[in-house]
């Protein structure tokens, strides 16, 4: 595999700051994870998840980064790069935002900054894998000029694979 630069871990946009995880993100991160509705996450469980993310980043040089609003300073979710179903060479872009922050363009704004960070590592292509029913996520990807590539089938349904070349 070619060598890639480490992804920048501090990104700023007009309304948002993406920066490294802190242990103090655990309570807000647990609320976000609990909003998925699959199970309740304690702050301790979220702290462990943060530890796992930080360890993964030390190994991979890519990261999912917490998103903080510049004006309120609150944690509203995360966005970044992850190997996911793809590879470290052509990773996935991923994002998840707290419900209270949806539909204000934040995911698109954060993901645009992550595209720049991905290009800065020297990578040439990103992927995203999304359930076909996830209209908001597909819309974010369309706004970012990702294009549909293929479908795969998993135990819990179809997965749409989208891709985007980096400049
Ligand atoms: C996907 C997600 C991150 C989008 O975050 P967001 O900050 O609301 O996204 P944005 O505001 O940047 O863009 C959302 C777009 O989807 C559109 N949208 C929202 N709900 C929609 C729906 N039910 N049908 C069609 N479009 C929809 C919005 O109108 C907006 O498009 P527009 O700018 O053209 O109006 C957020 O919905 C989320 O966290 N979902 C749960 C986690 C998740 O699914 N992550 C992605 C896994 S692949």
Ligand 1 pocket, 97 CB below 6 A? Answer: yes
Instruction: Report CA(10)–ligand 1 centroid distance (Å).
Output: 23
| Spans of the chain, pLDDT less than 50 | none
Q: Report the alpha-carbon distance of residue 53 to residue 109 in Å, rounded.
A: 22
The answer to whether residue 4 sits within a structural domain is: no
Ligand 1 pocket, 85 CB below 6 A? Answer: no
The answer to whether residue 2 sits within a structural domain is: no
Instruction: Answer whether 99's CB lies under 8 Å from 76's CB.
Output: no
Cα–Cα distance list, 130 to 41, 151, 167 (Å): 23, 10, 23
Nearest ligand 1 atom, CA 136 = 16
- Torsions phi, psi of 42, nearest 5? -80, 165
The structural domain count of the chain equals: 1
Ligand 1 pocket, 134 CB below 6 A? Answer: yes
Confidence at residue 96, expressed as pLDDT on a 0 to 100 scale? 98
Structural domain including 156 reads 11-165
Per-residue model confidence as pLDDT tens digits over 77-124: 999 999 999 999 999 999 999 999 999 999 999 999 999 999 999 999
Ligand 1 pocket, 50 CB below 6 A? Answer: no
Instruction: Answer whether 158's CB lies under 8 Å from 151's CB.
Output: yes
The answer to whether residue 53 sits within a structural domain is: yes
């Amino acid at each position: 595999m070619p060598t890639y630069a480490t992804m920048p871990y501090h990104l700023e946009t007009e309304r948002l700051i993406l920066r490294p995880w802190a242990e103090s993100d655990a309570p807000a991160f647990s609320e976000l994870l609990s909003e998925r509705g699959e199970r309740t996450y304690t702050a301790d469980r979220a702290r462990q998840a943060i530890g796992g993310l930080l360890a993964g980043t030390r190994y991979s040089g890519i990261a999912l980064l917490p998103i903080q609003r510049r004006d309120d300073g609150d944690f509203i979710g995360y966005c970044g790069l992850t190997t996911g179903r793809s590879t470290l060479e052509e990773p996935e872009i991923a994002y998840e935002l707290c419900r209270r922050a949806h539909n204000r363009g934040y995911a698109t704004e954060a993901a645009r900054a992550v595209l720049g960070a991905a290009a800065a590592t020297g990578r040439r292509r990103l992927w995203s894998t999304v359930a076909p029913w996830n209209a908001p996520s597909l819309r974010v990807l369309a706004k970012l000029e990702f294009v549909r590539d293929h479908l795969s089938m998993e135990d819990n349904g179809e997965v749409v694979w989208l891709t985007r070349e980096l400049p």
